[in-house]
Amino acid sequence: MNKLDGIQITIPHNLTLWSVKTIERKTARGNEYGFIEGADGKVMWNDDGTLLTKERAEEIVQEHNRWLEAQKTVTLRALECERNIAICKAQREEHERILESIMLRHEESVRLLVTLKTEQERLQDELLNLEGKEHGY
């Protein structure tokens, strides 16, 4: 449980990661305000000095998330690592397939460009020969 300094409120821990969110519009006094996402109930913060501040909310969120992580067993943490490794491996393989496809398209484009330039030079030479015959060269 987290007790807020100077405020008679307790935020019970739960099994959800928390984060500090900011609401887009400002208070009537022009200050930011928001809430702790993931906490049970409505835990609001603002920087008017009347409620929990954003800075303190961020501290509470970090404290809760560290507490939540500490509740996990080594086995659960290992499973999460294995899952993350599998996800990263799949993403890497997909990116490698995409890169290979891009490299093949690039090589094909370079070969085509060389062919087209060679043909362009041949046609220019042929045109010069035809112009030269026309003028008696």
Domain ranges of the chain: 2-70, 73-137
pLDDT confidence of residue 137: 64
* Residue-wise pLDDT tens digits, 73-112: 999 889 999 999 999 999 999 999 999 999 999 999 999 9
Nearest to 20 by CA among 38, 40, 36: 36
User: What is the average per-residue pLDDT within 9-14?
Assistant: 84
* Residue-wise pLDDT tens digits, 48-60: 876 688 999 999 9
Give yes or no for residue 63 having a pLDDT over 70: yes
Amino acid at 53: T
pTM for this predicted structure: 0.55
Nearest to 2 by CA among 70, 66, 60: 60
Structure-model confidence comparison of residues 8 and 56, the more confident one: 56
